[in-house]
Amino acid sequence: MDDEALDRSCREMLGDLLAAGCMPDPMPVPAGWPERPEAGWEATWEEQTRAVVRRAGGALQARRVVREAALAGDFVRHAAAVRPDTLHRIVGERIAIEPQDRFACDPASDFWYFKINHGYWEQLVGIHGSADPVTRRFTSPDAYREAYAESGFALALESLIARQAEDDGGTLSFPGLQFGMSLEAGNHDHETVLRRFPDQPPALQTIPLGATIGLLGTFDTLFGPRRLRFADGSFPKRAAVGGTLRDTLVSFARAADRVVFVVPPHLRGLRLDVAGLPQECLPVPGRTVHQCWAAALQATCRHVLARLRTDDGIVVITQSAVFAALLGLFLRQAKERLLPGTKRIFFFDLGQVIDSATPDSGGVWISRHAVHDSALFQVVDAG
């Protein structure tokens, strides 16, 4: 498959996320991307994404109206039920999260790890839910409304989730995926989060409460009431602090031909501490990656799939907020459709852990936590 055919196929799949048959116009990559993108490239990607949404037109708007009305109703219903004295029972009945601090590499199989922890689910409640301060910590939801709702991001993400979930009518799971979840910030495993909850001050209790309301309301809107099975959203941070992250990443890197980072500009020049592998960075916007989601998906997926024409296996490591989940789901779909067979992708959403390479860059998590292996990631050329 040549570059033109690859580009066209990615655009067709991208358009299908928003409205069947919607074909986005070509989205040329800004000059200099990925090595040295021209000034204003983030604004270019944001405008390209807005153009995709405009092209989807009335079909997208109709879906959005129906979705938002359903979400609002489900959030109100769960907000009435999920309270400090009921959280343990409801979570126990509805949410199962498998504890993990390492993964083993199977060189013959793709691997996909991504996570959506508390923040996104709380933000959805802030956009569409009640004003109850127990269920909504975000006093200015307009920014999240623009990033997730008006940009089409949430609809695209939910479309991919629905396509790759396995629903037996009682339990919802994600075979072949490690879809991570945490009701807090991913510093503690699921059992610890629940055990600590009664002793937390009310201001901190609102985090798992709001996350539970947002998570259950969103999945109820998509599938109806189900028991939800997830991987451990705390894996990256606990593995980085506990010292198991290096073994996991190196084992996958040794089964690959290349490492590709999808990271914000402050991590340009990032390298994994493993010898003998080509490594490269694909920059995506930091603060506006969700508003740029369509253009960012098109550029990054096209680049990774083009590399797979000559490489047999690629490790993809990303820090890109909730966009990481969209990227993992879309890249999996595109790879299976366009490059099936023996080619392999090993995908890791490591989030703020990667800021250990630039501890003075202002990353909140790395400023408050010490990783076990500060040499695992390094910035060797910041440009």
State the amino acid at position 102 in one-letter form.
R
Query: Which are the contacts of 151, defined by CB distance < 8 A and separation ≥ 6?
Result: 49, 50, 53, 290, 291, 293
What integer pLDDT is reported at residue 17 of this predicted model?
Answer: 85
**Residue 351, domain member (yes or no):** no
State the amino acid at position 252 in one-letter form.
F
Q: What are the tokens at 162?
A: 């629905």
**Residue 128, domain member (yes or no):** yes
Residue 273 burial by CB count (10 A; 0-12/13-18/19+): exposed, middle or buried? middle
Q: Which of 165, 176, 59 is nearest to 110 (CA)?
A: 176
What integer pLDDT is reported at residue 263 of this predicted model?
Answer: 98
Q: What are the tokens at 10?
A: 């990615």
Where are any strands of DSSP class E within the chain? 95-97, 111-115, 166-167, 171-173, 178-181, 227-232, 258-263, 270-272, 279-283, 313-318, 344-349, 377-379
What integer pLDDT is reported at residue 133 of this predicted model?
Answer: 58
Residue 231 and residue 113 in contact, taking contact as beta carbons nearer than 8 Å: yes
What integer pLDDT is reported at residue 132 of this predicted model?
Answer: 65
* Ranges of residues in the chain whose predicted pLDDT is under 70: 20-21, 24, 130-140, 382-383
Domain carrying residue 134: 59-238
Q: Which of 48, 112, 49, 36 is nearest to 283 (CA)?
A: 36
pLDDT tens, 153-174? 999 999 999 999 999 999 999 9
What integer pLDDT is reported at residue 21 of this predicted model?
Answer: 63
**Residue 345, domain member (yes or no):** no
Half-sphere exposure of residue 181, counting CA atoms within 13 Å on the CB side? 22
What integer pLDDT is reported at residue 108 of this predicted model?
Answer: 95
- The count of structural domains within the chain is 1
Number of neighbouring beta carbons within 10 Å of residue 165: 19
Secondary structure percentages of the chain, helix, strand, coil, to 5: 50, 15, 35
Where are any strands of DSSP class E within 199-350? 227-232, 258-263, 270-272, 279-283, 313-318, 344-349
What integer pLDDT is reported at residue 2 of this predicted model?
Answer: 81
What integer pLDDT is reported at residue 142 of this predicted model?
Answer: 82
